[in-house]
Structure 1
Amino acid sequence: MKKKEKRPYRMTRNKAIAYAALAAVVATIGYFSINATIPANGTAPVLSPPLNHFLKATHTSKGGYLYVTTSPGGAKGIRNTSGAIVNPTYTMSKGGLQTMHFINEDYDTHSAHNLNIDEFNVHTRDLGYFESQTVSFVTDKAGTFQYYCSIHPEMKGEIIIE
């Protein structure tokens, strides 16, 4: 029985192109993955898990334009008839990573809405009906801060950092 002769590995043009394309895809995924972990008021990635808060913009004929949440995590305020908290006050711990998941569910008027927390450099774009945006930030200051919609000044609430 004859031994199979080992052929030396040969890099062809097609293999080189495939490896280069694979390296470019991996580098792009890595770049966006690292940038996704940088909070709005930070310059370096934060790898700890955030506390999530869910907030939606809506409109009612009786209440006008409102922020509403159904997530109980740290939110307090007046509940409407459906059990959701209107213009909630959030209590958060200093030094924690927080994530605000914001969605425009203004079915009545289809108006644009945004979310702003100036002290933590949190500013979403103006979201059209059923658009959403997620913003992460570090609560690096203690105190009471206001969040608001720059389009509808009556939409506002508070964040208390302890």
Structure 2
Amino acid sequence: MKKQKVRPKPRFTRNRAVAIGAIAAVLAIVGFFGYRALVPTNGSVPVLSFPMNDFIKATHGKSGYFYLSQTSGSVKGLRTSSSNSGSQINPNYVYSKGELVSFHFINEDYDTHSQHNFNIDEFNVHTKDLGYFGSETVSFVADKTGTFNYYCSIHPEMKGTITVEQ
């Protein structure tokens, strides 16, 4: 009687090829968006450094609409006009030239549920119009010296300045 040769199971099956293709697609998508997240709004290449993080919210009170800093006064970026290190209304920020800056903006206008945005034209910083409790983070490189205005295009009274020093 002749012995039949047993064929080994193939190592690369169709299911494995599909799984490897799916994993490669997910990694490519994560890589693409990860790369894009490292590119500041006024740049074209990724910046691999830790940003100055400032937290600012849009709100409403008895005096009208305003930005409120959620960054402590002891942090380098915030210039306070008093010895109070708590929240500041329409705060002024100070940065060094070449510094990577991230603004974490949130709309906490509970009173009117109005839309708000955050803009700095000179650094191409523009958030979407955010509804109540909407948030967005924008990063930019402070590559120009001087004093620049930030503002809400919906409510002109919401404004402040950032200063970039040499």
Instruction: Tell me whether the two structures share a fold, i.e. TM-score over 0.5.
Output: yes
Opposite residue 33 of structure 2, the aligned amino acid is: F
Structure 2 CA distance for aligned equivalents of residues 44 and 76 of structure 1: 29
Secondary structure at 1:87's aligned position in 2? coil
- 1:98 paired to 2:101: yes
RMSD between superposed Cα atoms in Å: 1.8
Structure 1 CA distance for aligned equivalents of residues 48 and 32 of structure 2: 15
Opposite residue 56 of structure 1, the aligned amino acid is: K
Q: Unaligned 5+ residue runs, structure 2?
A: 1-5
State whether residues 54 and 70 of structure 1, in contact with CA within 8 Å, keep that contact through their aligned partners in structure 2.
yes
Secondary structure at 1:106's aligned position in 2? coil
Residue correspondences, number: 155
Identity percentage of aligned residues: 59
Opposite residue 52 of structure 1, the aligned amino acid is: N
Opposite residue 76 of structure 1, the aligned amino acid is: R
Secondary structure at 1:49's aligned position in 2? coil
Secondary structure at 2:109's aligned position in 1? coil
Q: Which residue of 2 aligns with 1:70?
A: 70
Deviations 1:103-157 (A, max 9, x none): 0000111100000000000000000000000000000000000000000000000
Structure 2 CA distance for aligned equivalents of residues 9 and 49 of structure 1: 48
- 1:115 paired to 2:128: no
Structure 2 CA distance for aligned equivalents of residues 89 and 53 of structure 1: 11
For 1:151, which of 122, 134, 154 is the aligned residue? 154
Structure 2 CA distance for aligned equivalents of residues 9 and 48 of structure 1: 47
Q: Which residue of 2 aligns with 1:32?
A: 33
Opposite residue 30 of structure 1, the aligned amino acid is: G
Opposite residue 57 of structure 2, the aligned amino acid is: K
State whether residues 102 and 140 of structure 2, in contact with CA within 8 Å, keep that contact through their aligned partners in structure 1.
yes
What TM-score comes out, normalization by structure 2 length?
Answer: 0.88
